[in-house]
Amino acid sequence: MNKRLLWVIMAWALTLAACSSRQSPPDSAQPLPVATIVAASSPTASPPTAADTATARPTAADTATARPTAADTATARPTAADTATARPTATATATATPTAIPTAAPTAIPAPPAVADLSIALEPLAAELSQPVLAVHAGDGSGRIFVLERAGRIVALAGDGSELGTFLDLRDRVGSDATEQGLLGLAFDPAFAANGRLFVHYTDKDGDTVLARFTANAERSAADPFSQATLLTARQPADNHNGGMIAFGPDGYLYFGLGDGGGANDRYENGQDLGTILGALLRLDVSGDSAVVPANNPFVSREGARPEIWAYGLRNPWRFSFDRLTGDLWIADVGQGDWEEVNVQPASSLGGENYGWPIMEGKRCFQSDSCRQEGLTLPVAEYSHDLGCSISGGYVYRGAAQPALQGVYFYGDYCTGRIWGLAPVAGNAWQAAELLHSDAQISSFGETEAGELLVVDYAGKLFRLVSRGD
């Protein structure tokens, strides 16, 4: 009888142990801390677990007031050169195409005007913003404008510039002690009206790069800060050159620009290194629950290369944008000490471009009288530091209210407030002209849902860019 009771007790104990094993797998089975893309087998990977979700740290909101500059006086962090500490990831094959951004398909693209003949002005739209660094729209038919404040707040504005309130507050987790850190990028899912998803790029309290997804409420009037799902992080060896922009391309993939890791003169040798995501433009499928490497990214089959990379050889691609009519990609790359540049990637590109940093700065060999330029894609426009110090890339105008500006790309300089126009001409040539010398500290440009252009003034203002000829 005692022996039978002993067997019953042992069987019961073994059953409990088995159940406990299924409910609490060993640590080795838990998801690893997020350091790079978790390449899933398809865009419909399993939902992220708590280990994949960044939580707010109990810290006070960052109140740094320093302005971003192009100065290379970053304080190096105590790390080895580079590195997004992530291990190489497996390449995932995207089996479903994410929602593409609708684009017009005209039978002929209208020729741009003579840029030098244009006359533009800035009209005030909003004020009393705190260190604004970007303005975007949600593509949801609301006409709202969303302004990023560097310390970590996203402010929603009505189309007339009146404030609607805080859309998302991340100041408890955004680090912005250094001038090029903070809340840097925002992109709304092309299907935001239906799924409420948005994506944010920021530096955390340790100064490292974070790409995260958030979800808005049913009314789409605010996003939930506790809905964060972290998709990618990268260790930053210094506190500058963090890149900034994230944007959806016409193919529905998310493009993400990262600087070379900071310091000066490509100190960490990341610009030409395909083994790191720093100094590169990434292309990610974020249509599922995790970030996935598209199967047709250019380096998915190259040994030792990071498969997330779409293009490389970039110093600090602070702002880039897609032409909503043609799909062409315009990348403004902040220069070192002499030249600022604009690169153009045609919509037909299969990726893989090498934009030359640190072999080149602008169209010139960097710190050398000669250099090998084979295989490099050089900028279509540049300007010297006699005219400014830090380029802020803009957009190609495709609105309807100002036909005189149609097809012209606008960009500016943070330090001098100058604004240029740029457009192609016959014979693969380009025309560029300075159009305005403003008082604005141009941290960024913006585009409304209707295609009208905005200028973001880091001093706290938002302007409309308008033609004085219409």
Considering only CA atoms, which of 82, 24, 104 is closest in space to residue 396?
Answer: 104
E strand or H helix that includes residue 40: none
DSSP 8-state class, residue 12: H
Q: How confident is the model at residue 249 (pLDDT cuts 50, 70, 90)?
A: very high
Lowest pLDDT segment from 28-32, 96-100, 377-381, 392-396 = 28-32
Q: What is the average pLDDT value for the chain, to the nearest integer?
A: 84
pLDDT at 292: 97
Domain spans of the chain?
71-467
Q: How confident is the model at residue 109 (pLDDT cuts 50, 70, 90)?
A: confident
Select the more confidently predicted residue: 171 or 49: 171
More confident residue, 212 or 469: 212
Mean pLDDT over residues 23-49, rounded? 32
Residue 45 has pLDDT above 50, yes or no: no
For residues 71 and 216, the model is more confident at: 216
Identify the CA nearest to 278 among candidates 80, 57, 30: 80
Q: What pLDDT is stored for residue 53 in this prediction?
A: 34
- Respond yes or no on whether the N-terminal peptide bond of residue 230 is cis (omega within 30° of 0): no
Model confidence at 31: pLDDT above 70: no
Collapsing DSSP states into helix, strand and coil, what is residue 375?
Answer: coil
Mean pLDDT across the stretch 153-173?
A: 98
- CA-derived radius of gyration, the chain: 24
On the question of pLDDT at 441 being above 50, the answer is: yes
CA angle 299, 300, 302 (to 5 degrees): 60
DSSP 8-state secondary structure symbol assigned to residue 32? P
pLDDT at 64 over 60: no
Instruction: Give the max Cα distance, the chain.
Output: 104
Contact 52, 40 (CB under 8 A): no
CA–CA gap between residue 182 and residue 151 (Å, rounded): 6
CATH number for the region 71-467 comes to 2.120.10.30
**421-439: pLDDT as tens digits:** 999 998 889 999 999 999 9
What pLDDT, in 10s, does the model give residues 177-226? 999 999 999 999 999 999 999 999 999 999 999 999 999 999 999 999 99
- Give me 396's structure tokens: 């190609």
pLDDT surpasses 80 at 136: yes
Residues 219-238: tens digit of each pLDDT: 999 999 999 999 999 999 99
Tell me what the mean pLDDT of segment 312-321 comes to: 98
How many residues can be counted in the chain?
Answer: 470
Average pLDDT over residues 157-184: 97
How far apart, in whole angstroms, are the C-alpha atoms of residue 98 and residue 120?
38
**What pLDDT does residue 102 have?**
58
Handedness of CA 376, 381, 386, 387 (dihedral sign): negative
Looking at residue 140, its amino acid is D
Q: What's the pLDDT score for residue 108?
A: 78
Whether residue 326 contacts residue 345, with contact meaning beta carbons closer than 8 Å, is answered with: no
Res. 132: pLDDT tops 50: yes
Number of helices followed by number of strands (H, E) in the chain: 2, 26
pLDDT at 320 over 50: yes
pLDDT at 40 exceeding the cut of 60: no
- For residue 306, pLDDT over 60 is answered with yes
CA distance 332 to 343: 6
Please tell me the predicted confidence (pLDDT) of residue 110.
86
What is the mean predicted confidence (pLDDT) over 386-409? 98
> pTM of the entire structure?
0.82
* Helix (H) or strand (E) segment spanning residue 424: strand 418-425
pLDDT at 105: 53
Nearest to 353 by CA among 391, 389, 335, 380: 380
328-386 confidence digits (pLDDT tens): 999 999 999 999 999 999 999 999 999 999 999 999 999 999 999 999 999 999 999 99
Q: How confident is the model at residue 88 (pLDDT cuts 50, 70, 90)?
A: very low
Cα distance between residue 257 and residue 187, in whole Å: 13
Q: Which of 10-19, 107-116, 147-156, 371-380 has the lowest mean pLDDT?
A: 10-19
* pLDDT grade for 97, boundaries at 50, 70 and 90: low
